[in-house]
Amino acid sequence: MAKVNPYLSFDGTCEAAFTFYKSVFGGEFPYLGYYRDMPPAEGFEMPASEGNKIMHVSLPIGGDTMLMGCDSSEAFGQKHINGTNFSVYLTAESKEDADRLFSGLSAGGTVTMPMENTFWGSYFGMFSDKFGIQWMVGFDECEEN
């Protein structure tokens, strides 16, 4: 069964928000990455103004629930609009499960990032379903049972 983790998007305040959440929940960030940490991609240059924004952060908040977040980046066509600052993040049990979930839920929707191996070590993809709900699907080898 896939795990559901809330994924919050911010307009440049992600680091401050997650520092606050950490003060409430305790714990440590298993991952905190900035857009400036992304490896170069052919035909794409990250604007310097986006470099200090959070690309991804995660914080355990109890049980096996992970609170995750990022700053929206206009370099990727993301415009921060209240009401679109939340995604459902599914942590799949395997690559096959990730593909099944991604394929099924994205049918009739808009894929913003197809499932692929990422530089941060996850097999990951993003889409909005046909009802406009934003989803992220990920699988990490270290989480496979």
| The two structure tokens encoding residue 79 | 């415009």
CB of 90 closer than 8 Å to CB of 30: no
| R_g (Cα) of the chain, nearest Å | 15
pTM metric for this prediction: 0.66
Note the pLDDT of residue 103: 92
Q: How many CB atoms lie within 10 A of CB 45?
A: 8
With a cut of 70, list the residues of the chain below it in pLDDT. 43-44, 74-85, 131, 142-145
- Domains of the chain and CATH, by start: 3-143 (3.10.180.10)
Give 21-61 pLDDT, tens digit per residue.
898 788 999 999 998 888 877 766 777 778 889 989 999 98
Q: Which two tokens stand for residue 67?
A: 């609170």
CA distance 125 to 113: 5
Q: In 1-145, where does DSSP find H-type helix? A: 14-25, 95-106
How many Cβ atoms are within 10 Å of 12's Cβ, its own excluded? 15
How many separate helices (H) and strands (E) can be counted in the chain? 2, 8
Q: Give the pLDDT of residue 48.
A: 78
Tokens 């990727």 — which residue?
Answer: 76
